[in-house]
Amino acid sequence: MPRELNHFINGKNITGKSGRFCDVYNPNTGAVQAKTPLATTAEVGEAIAAAQAAFPAWAAMNPQRRARVMFRFKALLEENMDELAALLSAEHGKVIDDSKGDVQRGLEVIEFACGIPHLLKGDYTEGAGPGIDVYNMRQPLGVVAGITPFNFPAMIPMWMFGVAIACGNTFILKPSEKDPSVPLRLAELMLEAGAPAGVLNVVNGDKEAVDALLEHDDVKAVSFVGSSDIAHYVYHTGAANGKRVQAMAGAKNHGIIMPDADMDQVVRDFLGAAFGSAGERCMALPVAVPVGEDTADEFIARMIPEIKKLKVGVSTDNDAHYGPVVTAAHKERVENYITMCEAEGGKMLVDGRGLKLQGHEDGFFVGPTLFDHVTADMKSYQDEIFGPVLQVVRAQTLEEAAALPSNHQYGNGVAIFTRNGRAAREFAASVQVGMVGINVPIPVPVAYHSFGGWKRSAFADVNQHGPEGVRFWTKVKTITQRWPEGDIGDQAFIIPTMG
Q: Which residue numbers are catalytic?
A: 282
Q: Around 180, how many Cα atoms within 13 Å sit in the side-chain half-sphere? A: 29
Q: How far is CA 366 from CA 79, 349, 352, 360, 369, in A?
A: 33, 15, 6, 13, 8
Please name the helix (run of DSSP H) or strand (run of DSSP E) that holds residue 481, with its range, or none: strand 474-482
DSSP per-residue letters across 182-233: HHHHHHHHHHHHTPPTTSEEE---SHHHHHHHHH-TTEEEEEEES-HHHHHH
Residue spans of alpha helices (H) in 383-420: 398-407
φ, ψ dihedrals at 408, nearest 5°: -75, 155
Residues 6+ apart with CB under 8 A from 156: 106, 146, 148, 149, 225
Encoded amino acid at 356, one letter:
K
Phi-psi region of 462 (alpha: psi -120 to 50; beta: other; left: phi over 0): beta
- Nearest alpha carbon to residue 89 among 103, 76, 79: 103
Q: Please give the Cα distance from 195 to 118 (Å, whole number).
A: 20
Encoded amino acid at 178, one letter:
K
Would you give the DSSP letter of residue 40? Answer: -
- Nearest alpha carbon to residue 412 among 391, 437, 392: 437
Three-state DSSP class for residue 451: strand
